Amino acid sequence: MTGHSTSTVQQFELFIDGESVPAASGETIPIIDSATEEAFAEVAAGGADDIDRAVTAAEASTTEWLGMSPPERGRVLNRAAALIRENKDSLAELLTRENGKPISQARTEIEVGARYFEYYAGATDKIQGETIPLGREYVDFTIREPLGVTGHIVPWNFPVSLFARSVAPSLAAGNAVVVKSAEQTPLTSVELGKLLDEAGVPDGTINVVPGYGADAGAALTTHAGVNAIAFTGSVPTGKEVAATAARQLKHVHIEAGGKNPNVVFPDADLDDAIEGTLISIFTRNAGQVCSAGDRLLVHEDIHEEFLDRLVDAVEDLTMGPGLEDPDVGALVSEEQYEKVRSYVEVGKQELGEPVVDGVPDDADETTGYFVGPTIFDGANNDLRIAREEIFGPVLAVIPFSTEEEALEIANDSDYGLSAGIFTNDLERAHRFARDVVAGQVYVNEWFAGGVETPFGGHRDSGFGREKGLEALDQFTTTKNVCLSIGE
Ligand code: NAD
C-alpha cells in the first residue's frame, strides 16, 4: 500500500484538494520506527503556504459537499468505514511502525476508526432543529448549520481513532476539513485522507497536512478561513491554541491531558480490578493514554494483597517490537522515552526504589524506546509523580482508608478527565460518579464506553465533548428563523 518507496524509505506527501502533493518548502520529516530507531519513511513537512492551499480548497468544496443530500453524504461516510476495514492490515502495520503500539492494538484502533465513520454516517440525516412556540402569530424554527471549514489538530498516541473521532462528525455535519496530524505519526492520517477521497468525499473537503506544530499547527489555528478548531493534545499547546482561537472568536474545543484516579475498594471483584488496572496504565498503548489510570488509589485493607497480585500480573507481561504483538510496545519517540525515564528518576528521588522498575539496567545500550511497567508504592498525592501527567507505563499507588478520603484525593488534581472505581457497592459507585470531577466515570471496567459515549474533560483536561451525538454540537451552529405570519 501506502506512499511510495525510494530505496527502503517510504515517501509520503500532503493530501490537498484530492491530490498527493509535496510541501511548498520541499522539506520533509523523517518518521522513526521506535522499536528499531530507524527512519523507515519520510513525510512532506507542511507549512503556512500548504495550510493556506488546503483551507482555500476546503472553502471552495463546501458547495459540492453540502449539495449532496444528507443520506448521500451518509453513504459516502459508510463507504469510508468499509474502505478503512478493507485496508485494516496495511493501515495497522503502518500505525504500529509510526507509533510503536502492538499490532493487535493497532488493528483494534483501525476498527474504532471505521466505527466512527459508520456511527456518524448514520447521523447525517438526523441533525435536526426544533420548533419554538411563540404563539399563533409566529412560526419559529431552528436550523443546525455546519460551521464551514474546521481545523483538526491530532496527537500521536491514537493517530487513527483520534483523526476519525473529530473528522467523522465534522464531515457528517457538512463541514470541510483540514487535518494537521502529529509530526511523529502522520502516515496513517495521509492514508485516511486518500481513503475518504476514494469513498467519494469531494476534492477539497478532506485535506491532510502533516507538519510541525509551530509551523502547520499554528498556521491552521490562525488561518482566517478556518471557523473551528478541534484540538487534541497536551495542556500547554491546548491553552495556546484556545487563546489564539479566542482572539479570533473561532469555535474551539480542547481535549487535553489527565492524571486519572483508579479507586479500588475491598468489596470489588479483585480479578476485575487487576485486569482493569493493567489495561488502564500498562497494556493499552504503554500507558500513553490521556484517560490512563495513572493514580491507583487502593484501600488500606487490601493494599498489600492487591499490590502483590498486581506485581505478579505485571511480571507476566511481555514487551517488545509492536509487530511481534507483545503486551507492551515501544514508546512513540526518543523524546517521550527520555521524558518517561526522567519521571522514573523523579519517582526514585521522591519514594526510593519502585516495586517494579521498567527501566532495564542496560537501557542505554539497547535499541528501541522501551520502558516497561513501573510501579511506585506508598505514594501520596502531593508528589510530582502523582500530580504530573507522565504519559507512559508508570503507576503511583496511593493507599487510602475511607471513601471520603478517596474522593478527596481523586479530586485533588489540576485535571478532570477520567475516573474509575472498582466496587460492588452500588450506592458507593453512584456517589463516586456523582461527586468525582471527571468527564467520564468507569465503574468496574476501565475504558468502558465506545464511540457512542461523550468524552471530554474539566479543568486543565479541556472543554467540549467529542464522541457520541454530542460531538455534532461542536461542529454545528444554530440559526433561528422567526416568521411573523399575522393574526
Ligand atoms: P502536543 O500538544 O505536543 O501535540 C498535539 C498536536 O498539536 C500535534 O499535532 C502538534 O504538532 C500540535 N501542535 C504543537 N504545537 C502547536 C502549536 N503551537 N499550534 C498548533 N498546534 C500545535 O501533544 P502530544 O504530545 O502530541 O500528545 C500527548 C498529549 O495529548 C497528552 O497530554 C495527552 O493527554 C493528550 N491527549 C488528550 C486526549 C483527549 O481526548 N483528552 C486524547 C489523546 C491525547
Burial annotation 325-353 (CB, 10 A radius, 16+ → b, else e) = bbbbbbbbbeebbeebbebbebbbebbee
The best mutation among 234, 280, 418, 474 to test binding of ligand 1, ranked by most ligand atoms within 8 Å of the C-beta, falls on 234
Residues of the chain under the 50 pLDDT cut: 1-6
Q: How far apart are CA 224 and CA 204, in angstroms?
A: 17
In the chain, the N- to C-terminal Cα span, in Å, equals: 66
Report the atom number in ligand 1 closest to the C-alpha of 235: 32
- Cα-to-centroid distance, 342 and ligand 1 (Å): 20
Looking at residue 363, its pLDDT comes to: 87
- Cα-to-centroid distance, 176 and ligand 1 (Å): 22
Q: Is 64 a catalytic residue?
A: no
The helix or strand, by DSSP H or E, that contains position 139, with its residue range, turns out to be strand 138-146
Looking at residue 7, its pLDDT comes to: 54
Report the atom number in ligand 1 closest to the C-alpha of 389: 32
- Cα-to-centroid distance, 232 and ligand 1 (Å): 5
Q: Which residue minimizes the CA distance to atom 14 of ligand 1? A: 213
Looking at residue 362, its pLDDT comes to: 87
Looking at residue 265, its pLDDT comes to: 98
Looking at residue 454, its pLDDT comes to: 98
Per annotation, catalytic residue among 109, 118, 255, 403? 255
Ligand 1 pocket, residues with Cβ under 6 angstroms:
153-157, 162, 180, 182-183, 213-214, 217-218, 221, 232-234, 237, 240-241, 255-258, 290, 389, 391, 417, 457, 462
Helices (H), 200-354: 218-222, 235-247, 270-278, 303-315, 334-351
Enumerate residues 6+ apart whose C-beta is below 8 A from 12. 2, 3, 31, 41, 42, 43, 44, 186, 187, 190, 210
Looking at residue 1, its pLDDT comes to: 40
Q: Is 290 a catalytic residue?
A: yes
The best mutation among 153, 163, 223, 340 to test binding of ligand 1, ranked by most ligand atoms within 8 Å of the C-beta, falls on 153
Give the count of beta carbons closer than 10 Å to the beta carbon of residue 93.
17
- Cα-to-centroid distance, 335 and ligand 1 (Å): 14
State the cell numbers at 280. 488502564
Q: Which residue minimizes the CA distance to atom 9 of ligand 1? A: 182
- Structure confidence by residue, pLDDT tens digits, 342-392: 999 999 999 999 999 999 888 888 999 999 999 999 999 999 999 999 999
Cβ pair 22, 53 in contact under 8 A: no
Q: Which residue minimizes the CA distance to atom 15 of ligand 1? A: 213
- Structure confidence by residue, pLDDT tens digits, 302-345: 999 999 999 999 999 999 999 999 999 999 999 999 999 999 99
State the cell numbers at 199. 469513498
Per annotation, catalytic residue among 42, 183, 290, 466? 290
Domains and CATH numbers, the chain: 10-256+462-479 (3.40.605.10), 261-452 (3.40.309.10)
| pTM (2 d.p.) | 0.97
Q: How far apart are CA 117 and CA 198, in angstroms?
A: 14
Report the atom number in ligand 1 closest to the C-alpha of 183: 11
Q: How far apart are CA 190 and CA 171, in angstroms?
A: 17
Looking at residue 5, its pLDDT comes to: 47
